[in-house]
Amino acid sequence: MDGYQKSGHVVYDIKFHVIWVTKYRYKVLRGPIAVRVRELIRQGCEARGISIIQGSVGKDHIHLLLSCPLSLAGGRLRVL
The pLDDT assigned to 79 comes to 44
* 19-59 confidence digits (pLDDT tens): 999 999 999 999 999 999 999 999 999 999 999 999 999 99
Reference 73, options 20, 14, 18; nearest CA is: 14
- pLDDT band at residue 74 under the 50/70/90 scheme: low
Looking at domain 10-72, its CATH superfamily turns out to be: Transposase IS200-like (3.30.70.1290)
List alpha helices for 1-80, DSSP H: 31-48, 70-73
Identify the band that residue 5 occupies on the pLDDT scale cut at 50, 70 and 90.
Answer: confident
Dihedral over alpha carbons 20, 28, 50, 73 (to 10 degrees): -20
Burial of 19 (0-12, 13-18, 19+ CB in 10 A): exposed
pLDDT at position 55, please?
A: 96
Count the alpha carbons within 13 Å of 2 in the hemisphere toward its beta carbon.
0
The predicted structure's pLDDT at residue 80: 39
